[in-house]
Structure 1
Amino acid sequence: MLDIPEWFKIAYTVLVLAFIVIYWPRHGPANFLWFSDIAFIGAVPAMWLESALLSGVLACMVLLPEVLWNVDYALRLVLRRRITGLTEYMFDPFIPRWLRAVSLFHVPLPLVLVWLVAAYGYPPESLLWSAACGALVLGLSRLLSSKEKNINWVFGPAMVQHRMPPAAYLLLLYLCFLLLVFVPTHLLLLRWFPG
């Protein structure tokens, strides 16, 4: 078991509180429905409670997308061209550089999530809870987000889609998250952190 020292818990909590204070007035509370924001913030209670289930659910929901975010960001820095669009906002000159720097929490987040799971374990029921939380988060994102913000892409991939009825699109999006993100991550975490 890899213990998480108290100094790290304190420093991480302070960073999360600073993130909330900075982002809330600029983006509103609905912005915290992004899966990555939920994981970043949720890691605080997971650490302090030393909760294997909460750590497992957070890792299951976002580990693969966070790794993809990091790959996209690194390639964009190196190649100077758009790759997937996940990190497009990090290069938007209309967003102040200091505000974009706040989003660099994505860089260490996968390592933090893996550390949590390594420290507290990965319960097999994490997938079930991830599936339930994912459905709730997508539903709330659709209800509380705007088409302009398009949190978790609930209105369409990158832009608002009009080909499918909204409920059918939301169900398809949920199934994509479940089958392409949650299940593969769950299988990887079970393999890496058995028992």
Structure 2
Amino acid sequence: MSTTAATLPMQRVPLALKLAFTAFMAVMVPFYWITYGPTNFLYFCDVAMFFTLVAVWTESPLLASMPAVGLIVPQAVWCLDFFLSWIGVPLLSMTAYMFDPGIPLFARGLSSFHAWLPFVLVFLIARLGYDRRALLYWTLLAWALIAVCRLFMPAPPPDPAHPNVPVNINYVYGFGDAAAQTWMPGWAWLALLCIGLPLLVFLPTHVVLQRWKGGDRR
């Protein structure tokens, strides 16, 4: 091995993954921007895709860990709901749109990233390690996104004149886009999101990832 080759840093994320992920984003971002508008990128999953894009190129453990701690569990639930919907017994019906013939197949194909993103994130953590600061940083980011979506983004139902404009982004009005939830006050629902997500989703994921690939990072 030459001296030059020996001093080059080892690439921990394969170039093929970097190029494939970038190519997917190069198609998805303009399509979503034109079809749904820029507010679509306030969804947790879309924000996670941008973090992951930067992470695959910079090989930053923190930038990979933040979407991992926030999205692995929700996207795993998406995968389960998709499979159960496919066999006719949906869990939450959150993937019903994937079987709607009224939505172009191309658009549904782009949404398939929900199915493979958690596996990409697990792979990145395996290669890069887990940065435990991700729990705090992703929680703060999630709270900021929830606040923005509740204060400034439209509530359900969708506007018939603009049916593609996202409503109820990040479920700040309830689990359905047809109407806001009515079984508790709006402030209580937001409190449930802001407390429940970190405690029931982010923290358990953090504990597992920290024990698996936490290393000594602060």
- Within the candidate set 188, 196, 199, 1:176 is matched to 196
- Within the candidate set 174, 179, 198, 1:156 is matched to 174
Number of matched pairs: 194
Aligned 1:31-50 pairs, distance under 5 A = 31-50=40-59
- Give the C-alpha shift of residue 151 in structure 1: 1.0
- Within the candidate set 109, 112, 116, 1:104 is matched to 112
List per-residue Cα deviations over 1:136-179 (Å, max 9, x = no partner): 11112223432232111001222402454433321221111111
Whole-Å Cα distance in 2 between the matches of residues 192 and 88 of structure 1?
Answer: 34
Runs of 4+ in 1 over 6 A off after TM superposition: none
Aligned to 1:187: 207
Mark the runs of 5 or more structure 2 residues left unpaired by the alignment: 1-9, 157-166
Give the helix-richer structure, 1 or 2: 1
What is the TM-score normalised by the length of structure 1? Answer: 0.92
1:115 aligns with 2:115: no
Larger radius of gyration between Structure 1 and Structure 2:
2
1:5 aligns with 2:23: no
List per-residue Cα deviations over 1:53-105 (Å, max 9, x = no partner): 1111110011100111111111221x223321121111122212221111011
Alpha carbons 1:2, 1:115 under 8 Å: kept: no
What is the TM-score normalised by the length of structure 2? Answer: 0.83
Whole-Å Cα distance in 2 between the matches of residues 76 and 169 of structure 1?
Answer: 27
Whole-Å Cα distance in 1 between the matches of residues 152 and 15 of structure 2?
Answer: 35
1:54 aligns with 2:67: no
Whole-Å Cα distance in 1 between the matches of residues 200 and 11 of structure 2?
Answer: 29
Aligned to 2:98: 90
CA RMSD of aligned residues (A): 1.8
Mark the runs of 5 or more structure 1 residues left unpaired by the alignment: none
